Amino acid sequence: MPKRVYSFGGGKAEGKGTQRNLLGGKGSGLAEMAGLSLPVPAGFTITTEVCTEYNAHGKKLPAALTKDVEKAMAQVEKIMGRKFGDPNDPLLISCRSGARKSMPGMMETVLNIGLTGKTIAGLIAKTKNERFVLDSYRRLIQMYSDVVMEKAAGVEPAEGRGVRQQLEKELEKVKHEKGYKSDTDLTGDDLRNLIVAYKAKVKEVLGKEFPDDAGEQLWGGIKAVFQSWNGKRAISYRRIEGIPDEWGTAVNVQAMVFGNMGDTSATGVAFTRNPATGENLFYGEWLPNAQGEDVVAGIRTPNPLNEATRSSSAGDLPSLEKAMSATYTELVAVRNKLEKYYRDMQDLEFTIQDGKLWMLQTRSGKRNGPAAVRMAVDMVGERLIKKDEAVMRVTPAQLDELLHPILDPKAEQAGQALAKGLPAGPGGATGQVVFTAVDAVAWTQQGKKVILVREETNPEDVEGMRAAAGILTARGGMTSHAALVARGWGKCCIVGAGGIKVDVHARTFTAGGVTIKEGEWVSLNGTKGAFYQGQLPMVGNEDNPYFTQFMKICDGIRALGVRANADNPHDAAKARSFGAAGIGLFRTEHMFYGKGSEQPLFLLRKMICSSTADERRKALAELFAFIKSDVKGTLEAMAGLPVTIRLLDPPLHEFVPNREDERQKLAQALGISMEDLAKRADTLHESNPMMGHRGVRLGITYPEISETWVRAIFEAAAELLKAGKKAIPEIMIPVTCDKKELDHQAALVKKIHGEVAAKFGMKRIPYLYGTMIEIPRAALRAGEMAETAEFFSFGTNDLTQMTFGFSRDDIGGFAPDYIKAGILPADPFQTLDQSGVGELVELGIQRGRKRRPKLKVGICGEHGGDPESVKFCHRVGMNYVSCSPYRVPIARLAAAQAVVEGKAKKK
């Protein structure tokens, strides 16, 4: 029978830090800290496997668990020198959740378990601190009734009518009557009365007495934690994060230590480095005379940990560094030890009981994109981690976040911030104000961009937080669970903006003397914690020095080249600035779309609607200059980096005008009647143009089209070379399926090359000749194709379309059903189908390289910017991927990660 319970404490632990799957993140962290002889209250972890058992057996705990828990509890009692349920000197414990992957605030924890009519008097006598004992007891009632008696029991109260909120109201009532500002102002008498009121309320709301038996409380707590794995919040969070339902949570039962024993006691949360910026400074928050819940639940805005990281909104709240300097120094030593040991930023929970420091949690801290990149770079510099590890520390999504826009600093300067809060998640965001998580989801579904404004940060809002473009709260600290979660998602987030007043019922908030209604626009600067009325403009965010250094680390590791898809000199310049090593796809037809396209488009139309080769040649001759200048500008922008230029690809019919005035103009230019034009256009009509007369097929029926393009390319290159510049064109033939097509066009390319070289008095204009592989037959016949082609570029959009027989434009109609039914794991147009389409790609590369070992191979579909697909391209030995300019950094990172993953696999 597998071991179900693992003990820790007293400088020893049965479990290890590597047993995350079994013990959960919290349990393995506690075991590891205990093993390192850090001050950890003794306790034990019930494994995640028991949770699975519990769920599988109709929510029943295995019978044998009772004995295991009793044994482990006896050991805790021995280490702590107190007994659970002992009327004279009772041991109190907490029941804490903790899954494999951290899910901050998504599951439940109950503190102060073991306080009953029998034990209260004993604890008061022992501690001589009645106020503390009563405060702990009222907290126990609050948490236990909420977590065990309501949530775990499946009671679903109406919005705002949960037992916890109702008890909270009782507390507020007393505070209001007595004119207290803080919970710590409550006297012993106040608490005694409050407890009576609490118990009555619990009975009234839930119809049950609060249990007065330590053992019943313990088992109620354990079950409730297991149960919380299937709580609403936890399920939502798992869906968003893709965490499997089968994992389950562990339960950590741990001796209580108390931060609420008076002014020499405190509780706090700290990060070994700033999780919002990555700066290497010990960062955190704490509250004197409080329990852990107060900080992480986000209901109070806490004090700063030290002076170096004090923010302006902390006002003159004392730092721990000043208030309890000896304990702070001890905590700094723990920080240094843990960061060295884990070699990563840690998120710590601690409690100070009467001047003594206790550690309650360590885990790899959640961070946003900018912080992840900075920490990876810094830690390499500090020799804490190797470069290989550094590239694995940043996810492609985090890197993407770094490139996201920020509020235009000029607009910010011109505007007036309404108020300031804590910069919990950086970047910029603008959106319309909503006041509930439900609205945030609903409005976003309607295509709106929203800012979720709340009184406090609260993990219950998880889905609304996910949907919102940004989050703004009046209360709560940087280390609250909700802030943690927002940061993990790279959300722009401001918390603890004390200057705002939220009125959820009126759906307004006021700040800086201004009242903002639901639906009005606001703009957040999450890096500074400032926010503004109205929709401020946003600008790009590319010149981050850590970004540049991080990309250098990636480039040093990766083997795969990264190019960009660009269709004009402007995009080409952008691609280069993002580090593209060339252009993998230059679609010449893009000169016929959008700004400045009127003239070339008109000439193209003339060519299309010509009826004789002669007419066509004339139109092409006019078009020639446009193609040449387009190609030349792009070759020049790439300054000698290779540019793969695709010959005309789309079916001609796409370009025939529909508008009456345009048709008239065209008919006139061709000297034909409107009827004749209509006839000519009709003959171009195809019933399935995607598989019709397009790509290389046009070049075969109308060689003069290919000739014009090829001549334009060679002349552009020759002119640049003559001017002492560099140019490497790669001529790419689209939509091929047979070597003979390639031979046909190759002859034509050779002929034009000769003519242009002669015209410019040059021996040779360097170029490559190759093809797209986007038809399954081309992949199968790749061996022959490679006899003529010097390079392949896999056009995985069309290849996916034709391999599956799914039309890319129509897949939206059924893909969601396919994904839901588990038939497809994902949309194959977004992430490459590695087993099917991938097999054709692999086969194509093998067969091609067998004939031509130096065959250059790349990919130019949408997939070139998808991290998983990029890794696949690395594994099958491509030379490069090509993607849109903005995805280039992501592809560079994915390519580096592919190398590191490959090494790990070999080991």
Tell me the closest approach of the beta carbon of residue 297 to ligand ADP, in angstroms.
8
Give the whole-angstrom CA distance, residue 629 versus residue 625: 6
The total number of residues written for the chain in this structure: 907
Decide: residue 49, CB within 10 A, 0-12 exposed, 13-18 middle, 19+ buried.
Answer: middle
Smallest separation, CB 112 to ligand ADP (Å) = 9
State yes or no: residue 795 binds Mg ion (CB under 5 A).
yes
Q: To the nearest 10°, the Cα dihedral for 748, 753, 755, 757?
A: 180
Rounded to 5 degrees, φ, ψ at 519 are 90, -15
Residue nearest to ligand ADP (CB): 292
The residue within the footprint of ligand ADP, chosen from 49, 170, 212, 293 (CB under 6 A), is 293
Per-residue x/- marks for ligand ADP, 308-347, CB under 6 A? ----------------------------------------
Q: Is 94 in the site for ligand ADP (CB under 6 A)?
A: yes
By C-alpha distance, which of 461, 470, 467, 390 is closest to 426?
A: 470
Residues 255 and 72 sit within 8 Å (Cβ to Cβ): no
Amino acid identity of 462? V
Mark residues 304-343: x for contact with Mg ion by CB under 5 A, - for none.
Answer: ----------------------------------------
Could you tell which of Mg ion, ligand ADP, none binds residue 563, using a CB distance below 5 to 8 A set by kind?
none
Structure-block tokens of residue 531? 């926010």
Count of residues in contact with ligand ADP, rule CB under 6 A: 18
CA max distance for the chain: 109
Q: Which stretch binds Mg ion (CB under 5 A): 325-333, 630-638, 773-781, 864-872?
A: 773-781
Minimum Å gap between C-beta 96 and ligand ADP is 3
The answer to whether 351 contacts ligand ADP (rule: CB under 6 A) is yes
Tell whether residue 109 is a contact of ligand ADP (CB under 6 A).
Answer: yes
3-state helix, strand, coil in the chain (%, to 5): 50, 15, 35
With CB under 5 to 8 Å by kind, the binding choice for 105 among ligand ADP, Mg ion, none is: ligand ADP
Cβ-contact 386, 898 below 8 angstroms: no
Residue matched to tokens 């770079």: 377
| List 31, 163, 256, 359, residue binding ligand ADP (CB under 6 A) | 256
* CA–CA gap between residue 415 and residue 417 (Å, rounded): 7
User: Cβ contacts of residue 653 below 8 Å, gap of 6+?
Assistant: 681, 684, 685, 686, 689, 692
Q: How far apart are CA 86 and CA 66, in angstroms?
A: 19
- If binding is defined by CB under 6 A, does position 360 make contact with ligand ADP? yes
Q: What x-and-dash track marks residues 34-53 binding ligand ADP by CB under 6 A?
A: -------x------------
CB contact at 8 A, 56 and 48: no
By C-beta, is 83 or 694 nearer to Mg ion? Answer: 694
Instruction: Report d(CA 509, CA 518) in Å as an integer.
Output: 9
- Interface segment toward Mg ion; rule CB under 5 A; list 111-119, 540-548, 798-806, 807-815: 798-806
- Assess 707 for contact with Mg ion (CB under 5 A): no
> Given the rule CB under 5 A, which of 36-44, 118-126, 712-720, 770-778 is the region that contacts Mg ion?
770-778
Q: Which of Mg ion, ligand ADP, none has residue 403 at its interface (CB below 5 to 8 Å by kind)?
A: none
Q: Please report whether residue 862 would count as binding Mg ion according to CB under 5 A.
A: no
Please list, in sequence order, all residues whose beta carbon lies within 8 angstroms of the beta carbon of residue 168, skipping any fewer than 6 positions away: 142
Q: For the CB of residue 257, give the shortest distance to ligand ADP in the complex, in Å.
A: 5
Q: Distance between CA 424 and CA 421 in Å, rounded?
A: 9
Contact 421, 495 (CB under 8 A): yes
Q: Counting contacts by CB under 6 A, is residue 249 touching ligand ADP?
A: no
Of 42, 51, 61, 111, the residue at the interface with ligand ADP (CB under 6 A) is 111
- Ranges within 352-381 binding Mg ion (CB under 5 A): 361
Report CA-CA distances (Å) from 395 to 376, 534, 810, 890.
11, 33, 31, 9
Residues 6+ apart with CB under 8 A from 608: 652, 655, 656, 684
SS3 string, 199-264, reads HHHHHHHHCCCCCCCHHHHHHHHHHHHHHHCCCHHHHHHHHHHCCCCCCCEEEEEEECCCCCCCCC
Q: Which does 798 bind (CB under 5 to 8 A by kind): ligand ADP, Mg ion, none?
A: Mg ion
Q: Which is nearer to Mg ion, 104 or 657 (CB)?
A: 104
860 included as an active-site residue: yes
Partner whose binding site includes residue 795, from Mg ion, ligand ADP, none (CB under 5 to 8 Å by kind): Mg ion
Active-site residue, from 481, 753, 863, 874: 481
Report the residue from 130, 349, 455, 456 that binds ligand ADP according to the rule CB under 6 A.
349
- Report in angstroms how near the CB of residue 646 gets to Mg ion at its nearest: 8
Q: Indicate left, alpha or beta for 302 from its phi (over 0: left) and psi (-120 to 50: alpha).
A: beta
CB 93 → ligand ADP: shortest distance, Å?
Answer: 7
Among 217, 274, 361, 884, binds ligand ADP (CB under 6 A): 361
The reply on whether position 292 binds ligand ADP by CB under 6 A is yes
- Cα torsion 8, 11, 14, 19: sign: positive
The CB-of-26 to ligand ADP minimum distance in angstroms stands at 6
Pick 482 or 635: Cβ nearer ligand ADP: 482
Cα–Cα distance, 466 to 761 (Å, whole number): 63
Q: Which of 15, 17, 90, 105 binds ligand ADP (CB under 6 A)?
A: 105
Q: Which is nearer to ligand ADP, 94 or 277 (CB)?
A: 94
Binds Mg ion (CB under 5 A): choice among 455, 798, 833, 866: 798
One of 95, 860, 873, 883 is an active-site residue; which one? Answer: 860
Q: What is the DSSP string of 875-889?
A: HTT-SEEEE-GGGHH
Q: Is 481 a catalytic residue?
A: yes
Question: Which residues are part of the catalytic machinery?
Answer: 481, 860
Q: Which residues would be at the binding site for ligand ADP (CB under 6 A)?
A: 41, 94, 96-97, 105, 109, 111, 254-257, 292-293, 296, 349, 351, 360-361
Q: Which residues would be at the binding site for Mg ion (CB under 5 A)?
A: 361, 774, 795, 798
